[in-house]
Amino acid sequence: MQTNGVGLDDSYLETFRELDIRVGVSLDGAAESHDRHRRFASGRGSYAAVAAGLDKLTWPSFQHLFRGLLCTIDLRNDPIATYKALAEFDPPKVDFLLPHGTWATPPSGRVPGAIATPYADWLITVFDHWYPAPIPGVRLFEDIMDLLLGGASSGEMLGLSPSRTVFIETDGAIELADNLKAAYHGAAATGLHVSSDTFDAALLLPGVVARQLGVRSLSPQCRACRIHQVCGGGLYAHRYRPGTGFYNPSVYCPDLIKLIDHIREVMQADIDGRSGNRAVR
Ligand code: SF4
């Protein structure tokens, strides 16, 4: 379960333990960074409440339920301070999420088609700090490293692995990937509900099938790209452009190229330095 962590009290945690439900918490860094976007209706920031929830989640009796922290990147936040603020909670895994956006509604700081790479630059700063002592693990970096070595990604952000998830909204609606909502109104809707449908019913939906086609779902530009097996065209939602739908490169294309190339270079230098001959993809 992915939660904002605000309501993580004993009764919820007891229930999660009983049902063996793992818990991921969304946290965007230190208090000032987190509270910029995540506020209660009163305007008060939610950091203190999330930190209290994380305190409980990391008690020895519940620690095994802790799946990790999910941080949405805000370019205004210092990258290393953000990583350190997350690592303080000793999560088993940290994941950095590129803010959702499309070619029509680009993410903050990303000018579609421009060569500037603000998100790659932010992530590279974290990567270079993290790589010599990679604990806690950072899923995005580990996925890129696995893909560069010929493996598969663990999620849909990168690579060509088929989509394997649906989302359950708090009202029981079964939806496609939450991030598809960034594309257009209703993009994630399925019409299915946990009270009347099975999860298998979602498998035949065009929106699920399209995200299981691997290289066949990529635009011509992505298919011709030298790193398409690693990048996979980026997150499906980030490819959206009115008129051509999802048949485009990611709006983050220049950032993805720079980040992947940087990680490849660091790994190759590391492997060369350890006298291995194994070539990175
Ligand atoms: S989004 Fe860009 S980097 Fe990724 S596969 Fe497509 S062209 Fe290559």
**What digits encode the pLDDT tens for the residues 121-146?**
999 999 999 999 999 999 999 999 99
Higher pLDDT, 244 or 276: 244
- Report the mean per-residue pLDDT for the chain: 92
| Domain assignment present for 80 | yes
Give the C-alpha distances (Å, rounded to integers) separating 209 from 17, 170, 203, 218, 274. Answer: 33, 24, 7, 13, 42
Domain that holds residue 52: 1-97
pLDDT value of position 77 = 96
- Is any ligand 1 atom within 6 A of the Cβ of residue 101? no
Distance 154 CA to ligand 1 centre (A): 18
Ligand 1, residue 219: give the atom nearest the CA.
Answer: 6
Q: Is the dihedral of CA 252, 83, 143, 185 positive or negative?
A: negative
Number of domains, the chain: 1
Q: Which atom of ligand 1 is nearest to the CA of 256?
A: 3
Residues 111-120: tens digit of each pLDDT: 988 999 999 9
Rounded-to-integer distance, Cα 133 and Cα 130, Å: 6
Average of per-residue pLDDT across 159-188? 88
Rounded to the nearest whole angstrom, what is the distance from the C-alpha of residue 95 to the centroid of ligand 1? 21
49 domain-assigned: yes
Residue nearest ligand 1's atom 2 by CA: 253
Judge whether residue 84 has pLDDT over 90.
yes
Q: What is the DSSP string of the chain?
A: -EE-STT--HHHHHHHHHHT--EEEE--SSHHHHHHH-B-TTS-BSHHHHHHHHHHHTSTTTGGGEEEEEEE--TTS-HHHHHHHHHTT--SEEEEEPPP--SSSPPTT--TT-S--HHHHHHHHHHHHHTTS--SEEHHHHHHHHHHTT---SSSSSSSPPP---EE-TTSEEES-GGGGGTSTTTTEEEEETTT--GGGGGGSHHHHGGG-GGGGS-HHHHT-TTHHHHTTS-GGGG-BTTTBT-S--TTHHHHHHHHHHHHHHHHHHHHHTT--PPP-
Give me the mean pLDDT over the 20-46 stretch: 87
Tell whether ligand 1 has an atom less than 6 A from the beta carbon of residue 79. no
Determine the average pLDDT of the residues in 44-66. Answer: 92
Q: What is the pTM of this model?
A: 0.91
Residue 215 clears pLDDT 80, i.e. is over it: yes
159 within domain boundaries:
no
- pLDDT at site 274: 84
63 lines ligand 1 (CB under 6 A): no
- Separation of alpha carbons 247 and 241, rounded Å: 8
Q: Which of 222, 241, 259 to mutate to test the pocket of ligand 1 (most atoms within 8 A of CB)?
A: 222
Calpha distance 87→186 (Å, rounded) = 36
**Does the beta carbon of 160 sit less than 6 angstroms from any atom of ligand 1?**
no
Count of CA atoms in the C-beta half-sphere (13 A) of 235 = 22
Residue 134 resides in a domain: no
In a domain, 179, yes or no: no
Whether the pLDDT of residue 66 is over 90: the answer is yes
Ligand 1 contact via 234 beta carbon (within 6 Å): yes
Strand partners of residue 69: 25, 94
Residue 94 pLDDT level (bands cut at 50, 70, 90): very high
Domain-located, residue 102: no
- The response to whether residue 98 sits with its C-beta less than 6 Å from ligand 1 reads no
